[in-house]
Amino acid sequence: MAVGSGNGKQWLSEPHLGQMGYTKVRFVVAMACACALVYILSFAVMSARPCWNTCIPTSCSPVGSPLASNSLSQPAASVEESDMVPKRLHDQVFHPQKQSESALMAVGEPEQLALNTRAETHRRGTDISRIVFGIAAAADVWKGRKEYIKLWWKPEMRGFVWLDKTPDGEEWDDRYPPFKVSEKTTNFEYTNKKGWRFAIRISRIVSETFRLGLPDVDWFVLGDDDTLFFSENLVQVLSKYDHRKMYYIGSNSESHLQNILFSYNMAFGGGGFAISHPAAKILSKMQDSCLARYPHLFGSDDRMHACMAELGVPLTKEPGFHQFDIHGDASGILASHPVVPLVSIHHLDLIDPIFPNTKDKNYTRVGALKHLLEASTLESASTMQQSICYDKSRRWSFTVSWGYVVQVYKGFITPRELEVPQKTFLSWHKETSKVEFPFNTRSNPDDVCKRPTRFFMESVKGPTESGSKNSMTGYFVREFSEEKMACSEKLQPLNGVQRIKVVRELTDSSWYQIPRRSCCRVKRWKNEDIDIHVGGCKDGETLISSY
Query: How would DSSP label each residue in 69-123?
Result: G--SSPPPPPHHHHHHS---GGGSS--HHHHHHHHHHTS-HHHHHHHHHHHHHH-
Reported as a single tens digit per residue, the pLDDT across 483-521 is: 888 898 889 899 899 999 999 999 998 999 999 999 999
- Closest-CA residue to 221 (of 245, 238, 236, 246): 238
State the Cα–Cα distance between residues 383 and 404, nearest whole angstrom. Answer: 8
Residue 30 near residue 41 (C-beta atoms within 8 A): no
- How much is the average pLDDT of 522-545? 93
Which stretches of 168-230 are DSSP H helices?
A: 198-203, 205-210
Q: What pLDDT is attached to residue 30?
A: 64
State the Cα–Cα distance between residues 540 and 547, nearest whole angstrom. Answer: 14
- How much is the average pLDDT of 421-437? 91
- How much is the average pLDDT of 293-318? 98
- Pairing relationship of beta strands 315-317 and 248-250 according to DSSP bridges: parallel
- How much is the average pLDDT of 69-82? 33
State the Cα–Cα distance between residues 236 and 239, nearest whole angstrom. Answer: 5
Residue 264 near residue 331 (C-beta atoms within 8 A): no
Q: What pLDDT is attached to residue 3?
A: 37
> What is the number of other CB atoms lying within 10 angstroms of the CB of residue 431?
14
Instruction: List, in sequence order, every residue forming a beta bridge with 535; answer none if it has no partner.
Output: 519
Number of residues that this document lists for the chain: 547
Q: What pLDDT is attached to residue 26?
A: 59
Reported as a single tens digit per residue, the pLDDT across 114-145 is: 444 444 444 568 999 999 999 999 999 998 89
What pTM was estimated for this model as a whole?
0.78
Q: What pLDDT is attached to residue 44?
A: 52
Residue 317 near residue 250 (C-beta atoms within 8 A): yes
Residue 336 near residue 419 (C-beta atoms within 8 A): yes
Q: So where are the chain's domains?
A: 58-74+84-122, 128-317, 376-535
Confidence bin at 448 (pLDDT 50/70/90): very high
Report whether pLDDT(1) > 70: no
Confidence bin at 28 (pLDDT 50/70/90): low
Give the rounded distance of the alpha carbon of 322 from its chain centre.
13
Measured over the CA atoms of residue 12, residue 17, residue 18 and residue 21, the dihedral's sign is negative
Confidence bin at 6 (pLDDT 50/70/90): very low
Considering the chain, what is the average pLDDT of its residues? 83
State the Cα–Cα distance between residues 228 and 343, nearest whole angstrom. Answer: 8
Give the rounded distance of the alpha carbon of 305 from its chain centre.
23
Report whether pLDDT(20) > 70: no
Residues 6+ apart with CB under 8 A from 391: 398, 522, 525, 546
- Burial 305-341, CB ≥16 within 10 A → b, else e: bbbbbeeebebbebbbbbbbbbbbbbbbbbbbbbebb
- Pairing relationship of beta strands 453-461 and 396-401 according to DSSP bridges: unpaired
State the Cα–Cα distance between residues 505 and 535, nearest whole angstrom. Answer: 5
Report whether pLDDT(250) > 90: yes
Measured over the CA atoms of residue 63, residue 214, residue 143 and residue 192, the dihedral's sign is negative
% of the chain residues with pLDDT over 90: 67
Greater model confidence, 453 or 58: 453
Q: What pLDDT is attached to residue 41?
A: 58
- How much is the average pLDDT of 437-445? 94
Greater model confidence, 69 or 389: 389
Kindly report which listed range (106-115, 194-203, 513-522) carries the lowest average pLDDT score: 106-115
- Burial 496-523, CB ≥16 within 10 A → b, else e: ebeebbbbbbbbbbebbeeeeebbbbbe
State the Cα–Cα distance between residues 86 and 457, nearest whole angstrom. Answer: 24
Greater model confidence, 393 or 43: 393
Report whether pLDDT(403) > 90: yes
Q: Which CATH architecture has domain 128-317?
A: Alpha-Beta Complex (3.90)
- How much is the average pLDDT of 404-428? 96
State the Cα–Cα distance between residues 352 and 508, nearest whole angstrom. Answer: 33
- Pairing relationship of beta strands 219-224 and 405-410 according to DSSP bridges: unpaired
- How much is the average pLDDT of 419-446? 92
Residue 219 near residue 243 (C-beta atoms within 8 A): yes
